[in-house]
Amino acid sequence: DAGVIQSPRHEVTEMGQEVTLRCKPISGHDYLFWYRQTMMRGLELLIYFNNNVPIDDSGMPEDRFSAKMPNASFSTLKIQPSEPRDSAVYFCASSFHPTTTSGNEQFFGPGTRLTVL
Amino acid sequence: AQSVAQPEDQVNVAEGNPLTVKCTYSVSGNPYLFWYVQYPNRGLQFLLKYITGDNLVKGSYGFEAEFNKSQTSFHLKKPSALVSDSALYFCALRGYGGATNKLIFGTGTLLAVQP
């Protein structure tokens, strides 16, 4: 398995532009998570999906952020319009359902480093 | 409330010496605990987990962790540190109640191993 795949790996954009981050989870995983990592705030959970349905979006900072999961193998995180304070590394992770014997350790993608100028 | 604490922002150790990265937790039920490692410019990688059973859990790259229920701790250990172990380490706790599918992460501890 190729693991969790994220694209792009790096994104530089100007304030006010729309940004779309993409994620392909590990095949067969039930859950997909979007995180943001910054020096100031550490690792923050933004939103997560179960079987393509958003379950908890309480970590989404504001309405400029939206996430979708149209099918089991693809998710997007969109920021519109982007602002300099959105600059961070965004991670996607996936996992099995927590009641399986494998537990619910999450497998992370390599991240997208976003810079908003 | 469920929480995880990593009391040390940074741990420095000489190569070849044993290392310990500390983690304490707070949860109302039985804890499910995890350790992750993040190398520079990489995503988090799963190291090991405690679900139930033996208090000493062995994981990847020679790391192990000791679960101590009375002290509510889950410290990460390695008998002999390598320079290549230098990275950011995160402790995590599985959520309870309506959040069993979430992991609550600590703030991370930067491990620096000097040659």
Query: What is the per-residue pLDDT across A17-76, written as a single tens digit (0 to 9) for each?
Result: 999 999 999 999 989 999 999 988 889 999 999 999 999 999 998 899 999 999 999 999
The predicted-structure confidence for B2-50, as pLDDT tens digits, reads as follows 899 999 999 999 999 999 999 999 988 888 899 999 999 889 999 999 9
Give the closest residue to B62 by CA, choosing from B46, B80, B84, B37.
Answer: B80
Taken as a whole, chain B contains a residue count of: 115
Name chain B contacts of A91, Cβ cutoff 8 Å. 43-44
The letter for the amino acid at A17 is Q
- CB contact under 8 Å between A111 and B32, yes or no, is no
Residue of A nearest to B49 (CA): A105
- CB contact under 8 Å between B49 and A91, yes or no, is no
pLDDT of A100 > 50? The answer is no
Name chain B contacts of A104, Cβ cutoff 8 Å. 32, 94, 100-101, 103
Q: Which of B43, B101, B107 sits opposite A98 (nearest CB)?
A: B101
Residues 58-77 of A with CB under 8 A from B: none
- CB contact under 8 Å between A97 and B101, yes or no, is yes
Residue of A nearest to B93 (CA): A105
Residue of A nearest to B108 (CA): A42
Instruction: Give me the DSSP letters along A58-94.
Output: TT--STTEEEEEEETTEEEEEESS--GGG-EEEEEEE
Q: Is A10 exposed, middle or buried (0-12, 13-18, 19+ CB in 10 A)?
A: exposed
Q: Residue A114 is encoded by which pair of tokens?
A: 């976003």
Output the pLDDT for position B111: 97
Output the pLDDT for position A6: 97
The Cα A46–Cα A76 span in angstroms is 12
